[in-house]
Amino acid sequence: MSELPQQLANGLILGAMYGLIAIGYTMVYGIVQLINFAHGEIFMVGGFGALSVYLALPTGTSLALALPVMLLGGIAVSVLVGIAAERFAYRPLRGAPRLAPLITAIGLSIALQQAIWKWYPDGKQARVFPQFKGRALDILGATVQRGDLFVLIAAPLCMIALGFFVARTRSGRAMQATAQDPDTAKLMGINTDRIIVLAFAIGAAFAGVAAVAYGLRTGEVQFRMGFIMGLKAFTAAVLGGIGNIYGAMLGGVVLGIAEALATAYVEDIPGMQQFGGGAWKDVWAFVLLILVLLLRPQGLLGERVADRA
């Protein structure tokens, strides 16, 4: 049995990653009512983008110096793939039955996984991601690895920037208008195609940040990593109320903490010993999702469907 502060810290770190990825699901859904199930792979390629940048730097470059460029590289790869997915996979299917983009997304996911598997050097195995050296830190009674500080700082900064963008800028206002009533947004002179691209790009950028966080935490990136992370982040987006950006982050954190607590404490509940530990954590995550959907179908911060335009 571990201590509570430690479990909360673990959950928060994991949850912040889920939240960053969940933003991509929620923004795209909020604007085009499409679940981009290839988003997990957009996250995954960002990890390889960041790793490639690191490998291209002179050997011996300190990670602290390399990190900003790696971050840019990861974001750039995710954003490029995200924009290309919108342009070539989803845009031609606008107005098609909902099943069509869903199948396309699955195809795109497989294609991206296989592309890394086949063409990334040694992509068939997990590739080692650089790690911060040095002792772990002690924060409020929890041991936090140095690499994990990255997501604890990056996630709130990203949320503040996004909140400012949506509420205070012209493009952000146009994005709100497009989400609430796309045809009428066009009547205002808003180029809604551009706004859709922007939503994909922002979501992909956040996934790129999350991928760097993932690499720093786990010490590796691999072609399959987008699947379970994508699924969890999608769960977080639904949990928080799909379409709501703050809900996505809240859903991520709630999910991360719930998983950490379940992993640590379920086995202490009399009669539940066999359901404890890491092996069951995904199950508990989805149990939580089902509970929320039963008790509060619109998600934690979601609007009721009737309020939607």
Partner 1 sequence: MTALLEVEDLRVAYGKIEAVKGISFTVESGQVVTLIGTNGAGKTTTLRTLSGLLKPSSGKITFDGKPLTGVAAHKIVALGLAHSPEGRHLFPRLTIEENLQLGAFLRKDKDGIEKDIQRVYELFPILGERRKQASGTLSGGEQQMLAMGRALMSRPKLLMLDEPSMGLSPIMMKKIMETIRELREQGTTILLVEQNAQAALTLADHAHVMEIGRIALSGTGQHLLHDESVRKAYLGED
Q: Which residue carries 């786990």 as its tokens? A: 218
Of 95 and 270, nearer to partner 1 (C-beta) is 95
Cα–Cα dist 13/249, whole Å = 12
Q: Which stretch binds partner 1 (CB under 8 A): 27-35, 102-110, 123-131, 184-192?
A: 184-192
H or E stretch at 187: helix 182-187
Among 97, 189, 270, 271, binds partner 1 (CB under 8 A): 189
User: For the purposes of burial, counting CB atoms within 10 Å of the CB of 193, is it exposed (0-12), middle (13-18) or buried (19 or more)?
Assistant: middle
Among 56, 103, 128, 188, binds partner 1 (CB under 8 A): 188
268 lines the binding site for partner 1 (CB under 8 A) = no
Residues 241/29, Cβ–Cβ less than 8 Å: no
183 lines the binding site for partner 1 (CB under 8 A) = yes
191 lines the binding site for partner 1 (CB under 8 A) = yes
Q: Which of residues 14-33 bind partner 1 (CB under 8 A)?
A: none
112 lines the binding site for partner 1 (CB under 8 A) = no
Cα–Cα dist 142/155, whole Å = 19
61 lines the binding site for partner 1 (CB under 8 A) = no
309 lines the binding site for partner 1 (CB under 8 A) = yes
If one counts every other C-beta atom within 10 angstroms of the C-beta of residue 20, the result is 31
Minimum distance from residue 64 beta carbon to partner 1 (Å) = 42
**Among 51, 21, 12, residue whose Cα is nearest residue 206:** 21
Size of the site for partner 1 (CB under 8 A): 20
177 lines the binding site for partner 1 (CB under 8 A) = yes
Strand partners, 214: none
Cα–Cα dist 176/31, whole Å = 8
169 lines the binding site for partner 1 (CB under 8 A) = no
- Show the beta-strand stretches assigned E in the chain: 127-128, 137-139, 142-144, 220-221
173 lines the binding site for partner 1 (CB under 8 A) = yes
184 lines the binding site for partner 1 (CB under 8 A) = yes
Binding-site ranges for partner 1 (CB under 8 A): 170, 173-174, 176-177, 180-181, 183-192, 303, 307, 309
